[in-house]
Chain A
Amino acid sequence: MTAWEPPDSRRRSLHGYHCQAKMAEEREPPPLGDVGQADFVEVEDGEDLFVSTVTTIEQLSPTTPEPSCLPAEDISTNSNGPKQEILLDDDQEDLFAEATEEVSLDSPEREPILSDGPSPAITPVTPTVIITPRAEASMFDRSLDEDEDTEENGDTFDMQITVSDPEKVGDGMNAYMAYKVTTKTSLNLFSRNEFSVKRRFSDFLGLHSKLASKYMHIGYIVPPAPEKSIVGMTKVKVGKEDLSSAEFVEKRRSALQRYLTRTVTHPALLKDPDVIQFLENTELPRAVSTQALSGAGILRMVNKAAEAVNKMTIKMNESDAWFEEKQQQFENLDIQLRKLHASVESLVCHRKELSVNTASFAKSAAMLGNSEDHTALSRALSQLAEVEEKIDQLHQEQAYADFYLFSELLGDYVRLIAAVKGVFDQRMKTWSKWQDAQLLLQRKREAETKLQYANKPDKLQQAKDEIKEWETKVQQGERDFEQISKNIRQEVGRFEKQRVKDFKVVIIKYLESLVHTQQQLIKYWEAFLPEAKAIA
């Protein structure tokens, strides 16, 4: 997957999804009062793979209602509610969320909006929720400033990462593959415009592990690293120079490139020092804890299991239908993609089989041609054999295309969706933490009340201190929860857009490869036809 250069307006809106630690979002403002109207013109019939299920505010942008940008209406078969409501809801929520963001920066005017309810996202569209023009105006002002910043920061997402030249380093079981990671960019983040480093697979895993631990709990969807394969790697280590290990290395190389490209496409991850270090530094400390059979690896597995159990015990009071819906959508998407993945793999398998059978038929036809005593027919049969051989080659190439283009993409997305689900789980954990803090605060308050009657001044003071401490924790918990909820909304929006784009690109490429195959077929058969006609 090569990095893409999105057209102008989309670019800006993509960067509009930055969630910088210090600033409010750089978002394109909605046109004043123009919410949820005829801008949502393009309604494509249920193209699930190509329709983002999230309305994004930039679609309201006065610049371009891009037709290729996703139609806002969620027409997928997964959607639960009628379309129009979802539209408006999203808008309201997004705007409201923005207002909340302002609140957290301690602008006093915003207080009343927050105190409306515990959760920032309110599903029913009530008049009280509609943003006052004042709020809008200030948001508008702010966002304009931020927009300029983004322009300077590198308007073009000009960055291309290639992973190439796999090289075997070392011998025996300690051997590993080193990959060359080349970055070409004009972004100011980096000291040079073009540079490359050598990395091994565990480095990639290490990077992912660091990013996951930093960002997943605040709701960022961290792209998953390619999967480990003990069998595959062992073959390579042992030095088996056969087709399957070459295929394995190529598969991995391609997966690593896609992984890095996805990672740097994420605006926050791109700026992460670990990422920059990964791309730039010649030497990287070895990430040992990523080994599958290491102590750390086992610890990770145990943690995963524990988390799974915890997940089942948390019963979250979902006050926000958006999240529930999204989770359901992702579940469904997951199932669909897995099914599709399985069927593409079976297609690849069958095509390879067809290629083998075509080759053996070609040989047989050649022998028949030799045996034929009518000269012209004999020649025609030999030609037929040659054509079939070429077709066999074609099938092989097509199988390759089937696989790399389609199958790998599907596999990537199945894993990505797992990451998305993980992020939703993190939100649940955050909520749970917040609830626990509230519970504890209540107990402390109860304890304090009791102590008031017990005339123990020391203990009373301690209790009061603890209450203060837990009040802060509760507030923090609430903020964390709001923050992660907000981040997830943005992330999901970004994810959906990216998914639609990815699939579109890949499917077009795949179709083009099919076209090429057909062109070749025409060429071969047209060359054969005169031979057949020449049989006298």
Chain B
Amino acid sequence: MAVRLPVVVRGGKELLCSRFLQLRSVSVDLNNDTPLLIDIPDALCERDKVKFTIHTKTTLNSFQKPDFSVSRQHEDFIWLHDTLVETEDYAGLIIPPVPPKPDFESPREKMHKLGEGEATMTKEEYTKMKQELEAEYLAVFKKTVQVHEIFLQRLSSHPAFSKDRNFQIFLEYDQDLSVRRKNAKEMFGGFFKNMVKSADEVLISGVKEVDEFFEQEKTFLLDYFGKIKDATAKAEKMTRSHKSMLLACTVTTPKIAELLEKLRKLEARVASDQELKLTELFRYYMRDIQAAKDLLYRRARALADYENSNKALDKARLKSKDVGQAEEHQQQCLQKFDKLSESGKKELTSFKARRVVAFRKNLIEMAELEIKHAKSNMSLLHACIEQLQSN
């Protein structure tokens, strides 16, 4: 991984931070041998904005070139996600959760402190804090690139989404997407947000479920969502306290200070690896389950619509007025509902498989990392003890 370190402008001013990151893609999902391969090889951080370089390799004819890259901002991802949610055709699919906004709050705070305290700190303290700051930036960076990459890879490996026109535009359009984004915002606005709000209510209360499968799924997902949300929160707390547990050592002994510094860095690595593998996993699947719930909600809405259309048809038949229209409407609703149920079933089944695989992979990786770090920790400590004893 190649990292270019930020240039710290002295004088307490806000840093202009330029950073390039070469990452090997670490994805939660299986990236099959698809004709569409996407990764985010690097990203640039400028003040508030993060610009991702999206690199696509494809054998599909629908694209103009087989290998190309574009630069996208976080807002572009949101736009893409929203258009997918709003697309009727995808109502029966689990729409991959939108990646969260890059959060540089914590490193930014640190940067302020660094700038302010510069005058009062010794050279060593300053350098050390600067290193910490860079490490934190790096961690946040890694995380945000990972979630954005996963989002795109989910889309590219899905039979329906990979063919989506907007997705293609997102990958290929070599200009700024902000114009399109503005239009989208005007059109959809807060519409779907309102939908999501009442989703849980509709799921839990109202509609009588006709299908055993969906009944089970509903119960499971609602319960699981609550648990994973709680687990995510606790994992976050745990990670946070792990990170803050630093032995800020002011011991002047260079050898000992050096060792304690190494230990500290190692601890920080352990904490951030745990975060990547565990906390991020839970966070991601919490959002994914929310997306699954959204699917259930849409299906429940469709069912409600269908039932309403039935009632309307009965009324129409009673009144002998607009029966044809009502029949047609009812048919449409039924079709929509069936379509949602069918694709929903498929989606939810594959979702479960995907989840199990992802958990397995991450849990294994986390355990292996923990073991690796503990071993290096131990050898560091042994070396130090030997050195002290031989003194």
Contact A46 B224 (CB under 8 A): no
Distance in Å: Cβ of A421 to nearest Cβ of chain B: 20
Contact B385 A377 (CB under 8 A): no
B3-11, B26-34, B253-261 - interface stretch: B253-261
Q: Which residues of B contact A77 (CB under 8 A)?
A: 252
B95-103, B162-170, B299-307, B373-381 - interface stretch: B373-381
Contact A368 B224 (CB under 8 A): yes
Among A45, A521, A525, the residue within 8 A (CB) of B255 is A45
Distance in Å: Cβ of B249 to nearest Cβ of chain A: 7
Q: Which residues of B contact A50 (CB under 8 A)?
A: 253, 388, 391
Contact A504 B391 (CB under 8 A): yes
Judge whether A295 is part of the interface by a CB distance below 8 angstroms.
Answer: no
Q: Which residues of A contact B20 (CB under 8 A)?
A: none
A57-65, A104-112, A231-239, A356-364 - interface stretch: A356-364
Contact B359 A361 (CB under 8 A): no
Contact A367 B256 (CB under 8 A): no
Among A48, A380, A526, the residue within 8 A (CB) of B363 is A380
| Chain B interface, DSSP helix/strand/loop, else mixed | helix
Judge whether B245 is part of the interface by a CB distance below 8 angstroms.
Answer: yes
Contact B389 A532 (CB under 8 A): no
Judge whether A519 is part of the interface by a CB distance below 8 angstroms.
Answer: yes
Which of A76, A380, A508, A522 has the most B CB atoms < 10 Å from its CB? Answer: A522
- Return 18 A-B CB contacts under 8 Å, by A number: A44-B255, A47-B253, A47-B255, A336-B250, A343-B249, A350-B246, A353-B241, A357-B241, A370-B227, A371-B220, A371-B223, A371-B224, A377-B359, A504-B388, A508-B385, A508-B389, A518-B377, A525-B371
Question: Can you list the 6 inter-chain pairs with the closest CB atoms, starting with the nearest?
Answer: A361-B234, A535-B360, A532-B363, A350-B245, A354-B241, A357-B238
Q: A518 with B231: in contact, given A351-B245, A532-B360 (CB under 8 Å)?
A: no
Which B residues have a C-beta under 8 Å from some C-beta of A? 220, 223-224, 227-228, 230-231, 233-235, 237-238, 240-242, 244-256, 263, 352, 356, 359-360, 363-364, 367-368, 370-371, 374-375, 377-378, 381-382, 384-385, 388-391
Contact B391 A384 (CB under 8 A): no
Q: A529 with B241: in contact, given A46-B252, A48-B252, A508-B385 (CB under 8 Å)?
A: no
Considering only residues 468-520 of chain A, those with a C-beta below 8 Å from chain B are: 504, 507-508, 511-512, 514-515, 518-519
Q: Which residues of A contact B363 (CB under 8 A)?
A: 380, 384, 528, 532, 535
Contact A49 B253 (CB under 8 A): yes
Judge whether A187 is part of the interface by a CB distance below 8 angstroms.
Answer: no
Contact A365 B231 (CB under 8 A): yes
Distance in Å: Cβ of B285 to nearest Cβ of chain A: 10
- Give the complex CA separation of A354 and B236 in angstroms: 11
- Give the complex CA separation of A528 and B230 in angstroms: 22
Distance in Å: Cβ of B166 to nearest Cβ of chain A: 34
Closest to B270 in A: A521
Considering only residues 313-329 of chain A, those with a C-beta below 8 Å from chain B are: none
Judge whether A460 is part of the interface by a CB distance below 8 angstroms.
Answer: no
Q: Which residues of A contact B238 (CB under 8 A)?
A: 354, 357-358, 360-361
Contact B356 A347 (CB under 8 A): no
- Give the complex CA separation of A94 and B238 in angstroms: 57
Q: Which residues of A contact B375 (CB under 8 A)?
A: 518, 522
Judge whether A372 is part of the interface by a CB distance below 8 angstroms.
Answer: yes
Closest to B244 in A: A350
